[in-house]
Amino acid sequence: MKKDIHPKYNSEAEVICACGNKFKLGTTQEKVEVEVCSACHPFYTGNEKIMDTAGRVDKFKKRVAAAKKTK
């Protein structure tokens, strides 16, 4: 491998989630900001969180219900 072309690896980089959770991991960046982490992600918490923008979730649920009726 060529020398001095790889970025510096930071083994104690701080990750800050929008929910307030903080933890450390290894990366080339010193600080990482994320929107979702394992402490707030619905897959890990078991809580369903729906972000409804302009009624899109309701439209989808209506289409699914209409498709089930036609079967």
pTM more than 0.85: no
> 12-21 contacts: CB < 8 A, separation 24 or more?
none
Q: Is the pLDDT of residue 44 over 80?
A: no
Fold classification of 10-70 is Rhinovirus 14, subunit 4 (4.10.80)
Q: According to the model, what pLDDT value does residue 33 have?
A: 94
Measured distance CA(22)–CA(37) in Å, rounded: 9
- pLDDT range class, residue 53, cuts 50, 70, 90: low
Measured distance CA(8)–CA(30) in Å, rounded: 10
CA distances from 20 to 6, 24, 34, 45 (A): 31, 13, 10, 15
Exposed/middle/buried for 25, CB within 10 Å: 0-12, 13-18, 19+? exposed
